[in-house]
């Protein structure tokens, strides 16, 4: 089991790697330089998606036993999406605890494994923005609108994108 100091070292390494080799579509850094367990992440809305042109901010909070357990990711920008709870918390398979899904929706291999990095998590979130999963939604209203009223869904997302640009 990873100790807090091992988790801290791993997170410092991942941050250094991201600074040396930035990845298109997002940036990440510490909220407080004395706390490697709380990161600020900015995600640029992926091209050719409804979120294109948006600047979405989130907080990534890592547990002390990272990478054995996944972080939580919570948007601080407004995001209307089937896989984002109303409070901004992101709900994707790789952020779910490792092992079998007690509800039977996900395979164990779709859930968290210690091989994931900050980069792979954020790339999964970018993918989520490109392809919502309305089969097991975090935001039932957004999923229903995504399925039943795409024009209104687009309008709502466009408002979020405009708002994110104003906050940038």
What is the average pLDDT across 67-82?
Answer: 97
To the question of pTM greater than 0.85 for the whole model, the response is yes
* pLDDT tens-digit series, residues 123-133: 999 999 999 98
Percentage of the chain exceeding pLDDT 90 = 85
106 versus 96: the higher-pLDDT residue is 96
Give the pLDDT mean for 58-86: 97
pLDDT at 60 exceeding the cut of 50: yes
Of 41, 84, 91, 157, which is the active-site residue?
Answer: 91
Q: Rounded mean pLDDT of 152-156?
A: 98
Q: 91 catalytic, yes or no? A: yes
Mean pLDDT of 56-80: 97
User: Phi/psi class of residue 25: alpha, beta or left (left: φ > 0; alpha: ψ in -120 to 50)?
Assistant: left
């Amino acid at each position: 089991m990873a100790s807090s100091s091992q988790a801290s070292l791993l997170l410092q390494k991942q941050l250094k790697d991201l600074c040396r080799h930035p990845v298109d579509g997002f940036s990440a850094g510490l909220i407080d330089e004395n706390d490697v367990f709380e990161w600020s992440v900015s995600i640029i809305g992926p091209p050719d998606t409804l979120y294109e042109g948006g600047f979405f901010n989130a907080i990534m909070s890592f547990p002390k036993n990272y990478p054995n357990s996944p972080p939580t990711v919570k948007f601080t920008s407004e995001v209307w999406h089937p896989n984002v709870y109303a409070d901004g918390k992101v709900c994707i398979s790789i952020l779910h605890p490792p092992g079998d899904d007690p509800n039977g929706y996900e395979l164990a291999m779709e859930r968290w494994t210690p091989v994931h990095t900050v980069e792979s998590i954020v790339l999964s979130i970018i993918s989520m923005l490109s392809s919502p999963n309305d089969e097991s939604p975090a935001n039932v209203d957004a999923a229903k609108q995504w399925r039943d009223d795409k024009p209104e869904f687009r309008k709502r997302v466009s408002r979020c994108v405009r708002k994110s640009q104003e906050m940038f």
